[in-house]
Amino acid sequence: MSMSFPHPLRAFSVGAQASTRLAEKIADDPPTNKTPQSMVTCVYQMHISACWCNVTVLWCKNLMNHSLNLIFNNPDGGEIYYSCKIELKPWLFWSKKGSKSFELEGCHVDVHWDLRSARFSGSPEPSSDYYVALVSEGEVVLMLGDYKKKAYKRTKARPALVDPTLFYKKENWKFRGNQSVMVDKQQVQVLWDVHDWLFNSPGAGHGLFIFKPGAPEPDDDQDGSSHGTGSDASDMSKYFSTISNATPEFCLFLYAWKME
């Protein structure tokens, strides 16, 4: 894999305000083109071959996928020029340990990761027992995780002379919600509550999915029936208000449990 910048990569310093706008843009439109149930976005500034570069670290988890995206942007903090995706889902023939290589304006960069023992505490971002290391010219220019000794042994690289700087971090959760989708040219309302399913121990909690044909009722008709204390509870209460006031029709309730 390789790429090149249309403008020379040069030394720069991006202020917190500019980096925040970039990270929020990426978070609102992740490279997976799928709305994540939960997401953690971090933006680092690192030193590569006597130049500065921004990298956005995006941990995403939804019902079917769990991934890490490393997104490199141009020196002005605008257009994205390269992204590297690492899947965390335990599919067959896929390893949670590996490496990738690419180029940034002629600079060779290697990404090494080991997520086999990674522990998670209710977040798509691991809390311990893992590493993700970016290496260029024999230096670890960015290190994620607490398995630093293993990373240096694996990469045979030395610590960077200039430490990377974290100047933005944002967590976005969407364990409960609703959305209208089209199925065979027919509108279907989909509501979900998957928090207990994703983060409780196996068998301790279930996920709930509700599928209802037709368009949702106008919000004005539902204001008096929503009693939730938060937006998640409000979404579910609005749904039950909708079906109670509408003509009886087909509705599918789907429950899911983790078995292992």
Write out pLDDT tens, residues 39-75.
Answer: 899 999 888 887 788 899 999 988 778 899 999 886 5
Of the listed ranges 11-20, 61-70, 179-188, 242-251, the one predicted with least confidence: 11-20
Q: How far apart are CA 191 and CA 214, in angstroms?
A: 13
Write out pLDDT tens, residues 84-134.
Answer: 889 887 665 567 899 999 988 778 999 999 999 999 887 889 999 999 999
In 3-state terms, what secondary structure has residue 9?
coil
259/96: higher pLDDT: 96
SS3 labels along 162-205? CCCEEEEEEEEECCEEEEEEEECCEEEEEEEECHHHHHCCCCCC
pLDDT at residue number 87: 86
Domain boundaries, the chain: 16-173, 176-257
pLDDT at residue number 11: 34
**Which of 176, 259, 180, 253 shows the shortest CA–CA distance to 214?**
180
User: Looking at residues 146-172, what average pLDDT do you find?
Assistant: 90
Q: Give me the chain's average pLDDT, please.
A: 74
Res 154 pLDDT > 50: yes
The angle formed by the CA atoms of residues 52, 57 and 62, to the nearest 5 degrees, is 165
**Which of 186, 187, 177 shows the shortest CA–CA distance to 239?**
177
DSSP state of 99: E
Using a pLDDT cut of 90, give the percent of the chain over it: 25
pLDDT at residue number 153: 95
